[in-house]
Structure 1
Amino acid sequence: MLFESSRIYFRKITTGDAELYDAWRNNIEVMRYTNPSLDLYSTEETIAFVEQVILGSHAAKSYIIVDKTEDIPIGITSLINIDYKNRNAECIIDIGETDYWGKGYGAEALTLLLDYAFSEMNLHRVSLRVFSFNERAIHLYKKIGFQQEGSSRECLFRDGTWHDIIHMGLLQREYMKPVKS
């Protein structure tokens, strides 16, 4: 199956997922690594965000990451700002359930998403942004093949210190290298 690996599967996000997403979106430990503002959101704001931004965009595809063993949602992953003409998109991944951090679920989910982006959608390039202090994520992205393309220097103030936002990209030909026999 296209959106399934040994431990996880994807399912399309629905408006019914707004409450779940609201819990992740308002968990400071989770958002510390993905949300520049660290704002807290009301349930109504999250519902509006899910309906208008996630589900209402023709330039985005978003999926809930589900642990197959427990059949529980553990995160969200998306392709956003999809540019069909130039075959580019930006990817986002959030493992919202902190018990699943550091256990390879992010790598598994990102691999499924990239397989879809490059093999099924035939995208040429996928990019992402990551906070410079998120060393675990940067290591994962480099291991998968993303290359640093630049940074927005000292544009994030977190914990009393300025941090960069690192811009990374991966080309289809870099990801889909032929297997040597």
Structure 2
Amino acid sequence: MPRILGTQVMLREYRQDDLPWMRQWANDPEVVVHLSDIFLYPHTLESTEAFLHMMIDGSPDCKGFVIADRNDGAYIGQISLDTIDWKNRVGRIGIVIGSAEHMGRGYGTEAMKLLIGFAFREMNLNRLELEVFDFNDRAIRCYASCGFVQEGRLRERQYKKGQYWDVLQMGLLKSEWKDDTP
């Protein structure tokens, strides 16, 4: 799969030397608080390695990229279509920026726009969807700026940070998409 180039970032293949960067965020409370409950407990080196090998080897229903600095290819985070329903042309997006120092710089928004363009133009998907905790204002603004609309709310679905939070369901249709890929 070719690299997808943006202005600040590129979406590139996973490499074995991404492991230390993945290990750095996989147990970082500032990062994983925004992620699913698979990060509720500490992640072992073995589980991170297994995930990395799965991404390197590829899977028909999951297409993932490393979000990397466009100039030097340095790891910033990950973005993927975690579950692809080929019959109905639907993909579910997952994204993580791997360190607090990289958050809030537009890398996630640019990576989202690049992945959306790839999904609609190259993969011929018709619908993209994702879920986000309602306390994650930065991510909600990012997704909205990329064209996603809120389609549902799972009330008090997630227990995080000592209380129950709603989970927002967001979607984007190919017919609604405005291609402003960097």
Q: TM-score, normalised by structure 2?
A: 0.89
Off by >3 Å, runs of 4+ in structure 1? 52-56
CA contact (8 A) 1:14 1:55 kept: no
Q: Which residue of 1 aligns with 2:19?
A: 18
Are the equivalent residues in 1 in contact too, given 2:14–2:55 (CA < 8 A)?
Answer: no
- Gapped runs of 5+ residues in structure 2? none
Percent of aligned pairs with the same amino acid: 38
Cα shift at 1:52: 4.0
**1:133 Cα deviation from its structure 2 partner:** 0.3
Are 1:90 and 1:128, in contact at CA under 8 Å, matched by a contact in 2? yes
Q: Quote the Cα distance in structure 2 between the aligned partners of 1:47 and 1:115.
A: 29
1:51 CA displacement: 2.8
Comparing 41-50 with 127-136, greater Cα deviation is found at 41-50
Partner of 2:106: 104
Shift of 1:103: 1.1
Letter in 2 for 1:77: I
In angstroms, what is the RMSD of aligned CA positions?
2.1
Higher relative contact order (CA 8 A, sep 6+): 2
Give the Cα–Cα distance (whole angstroms) in 2 for the partners of residues 56 and 117 of structure 1: 16
Partner of 1:146: 148
1:99 is displaced (CA, Å) by 1.1
TM-score (norm 1): 0.89
What letter corresponds to residue 33 of structure 2 in structure 1?
R
How far apart, CA to CA, are the structure 2 residues paired with 1:91 and 1:48?
20
Q: Distance in 1 between the 2:143 and 2:56 partners? A: 23
- SS of the counterpart of 1:142? helix
